[in-house]
Amino acid sequence: MKTPGTTYQMTVRHVVIALASALLLVWTVFPFVWILLTSLKSPTDILSVPPTFTFTPTIDNYAALVVGEQRGQYSSTRPDFPRFFLNSIIVSIGAVALSVAAGIPAAYALARFKFPGRDTLAFVLLSFRFVPFIAFVIPLYILYQRFGLYNTHAGLILAYQLITLPFTVWMLRSFFMEIPLEIQEAAKIDGCSWLGVLGRVILPLSAPGIAVTVILGFMFCWNAFNYPLMLAGRQTFPVTVGAIQFISYEQVLWGQMAAATIVAAVPQLLLSLMVQKYIVRGLTMGAVK
């Protein structure tokens, strides 16, 4: 819809919008840019006062992640960072997949059925996410050691359910409830069972919501720190625990920590770019409705 008004008003409007966009962009992206710059700097440049924007870039920090060069010497044991990266991928995907598999039916039940104990159950599910990790971590550590789940991918995936499952259930529940009842009734009249309604109506229409939930769930898992610190060993540490290893006893390797951060952010970036189009597709589907 065209906004009526003079050209002047429209120019002002455009300028304001542009400024606001710019501010939002700078606010959001600048720290990321700074980390990227840091990852390309040599140690002197990192510590320089005042901070520098012009410097000769170096890829030594990234090389160190793969080759393990940390003292100007090449390590003959394979460095750990690639393994940490792989661990993060396995555990995050596994945890989100499990959460979504269990979460979709659970959210559907909570959204579309009335049954005794519904609200209590919903609340209890939610409250699992809010238990302070401290109350869980040490007992989990003790139990995991006893039952052989310590330092396993499966153990981490299970523990991560504390992070993702309640979130997934509640997010999906909200999105499922947004779908108008008439459409579901229409599907039922057409002869669909609850499974058909779920598969043919609810899931496609809430695809953008599912996409958002999956990305955010993945990111929560990817960024988890306190659980894997205690429940994992070197073979299963994710990148979050790996990245703090650059804090050594006599120095902090900021450049390499920055490089590790950038590399660790790449899968999340890719995932969000891939899922962007689902959000857009959901828009047009809604309009057709």
Residue 217 φ/ψ region, left for φ over 0, alpha for ψ in the -120 to 50 degree band, beta for the rest: alpha
Q: Which of the ranges 4-12, 184-192, 207-215 carries the binding residues for another protein, by CB under 8 A?
A: 207-215
Which residues contact residue 116 at a Cβ distance below 8 angstroms, ignoring those fewer than 6 apart? none
Cα 267 from Cα 273, distance rounded (Å):
10
- Asked if 25 interacts with another protein (CB under 8 A), we say yes
Shortest distance, CB of residue 243 to another protein, whole angstroms? 6
- Asked if 9 interacts with another protein (CB under 8 A), we say no
Shortest distance, CB of residue 121 to another protein, whole angstroms? 7
Q: Which of the ranges 4-12, 22-30, 184-192 carries the binding residues for another protein, by CB under 8 A?
A: 22-30
First-to-last alpha carbon distance for the chain, in angstroms, is: 20
Reported as half-sphere exposure (CB side, CA atoms, 13 A), residue 116 has a value of 0
- Asked if 194 interacts with another protein (CB under 8 A), we say yes
Shortest distance, CB of residue 3 to another protein, whole angstroms? 9
Output DSSP code: residue 205.
H
**Looking only at Cα atoms, what is the longest distance across the chain?**
74
Q: Name residue, tokens 């901070």.
A: 51
Residues 90, 93, 177, 203: which binds another protein (CB under 8 A)?
177
Query: If binding means CB under 8 A, how many residues of this protein chain bind another protein?
Result: 139
| Site for another protein, residues 244 to 283, rule: CB under 8 A | 244-245, 247-252, 254, 257-258, 261, 264-265, 268-269, 272-273, 276, 279-280, 282-283
Q: Which of the ranges 4-12, 163-171, 184-192 carries the binding residues for another protein, by CB under 8 A?
A: 163-171
| Site for another protein, residues 28 to 57, rule: CB under 8 A | 28-29, 31-32, 34-35, 38, 42-44, 47-51
Cα 89 from Cα 221, distance rounded (Å):
10
Per DSSP, the residues of 102-164 read HHHHHHHHHHH---TTHHHHHHHHHHHTTS-HHHHHHHHHHHHHHHT-TT-HHHHHHHHHHHH
| Site for another protein, residues 67 to 126, rule: CB under 8 A | 67-68, 70-71, 73-79, 82-83, 86, 98, 101-103, 105-106, 108-110, 113, 115, 118-119, 121-123, 125-126
- Asked if 10 interacts with another protein (CB under 8 A), we say no
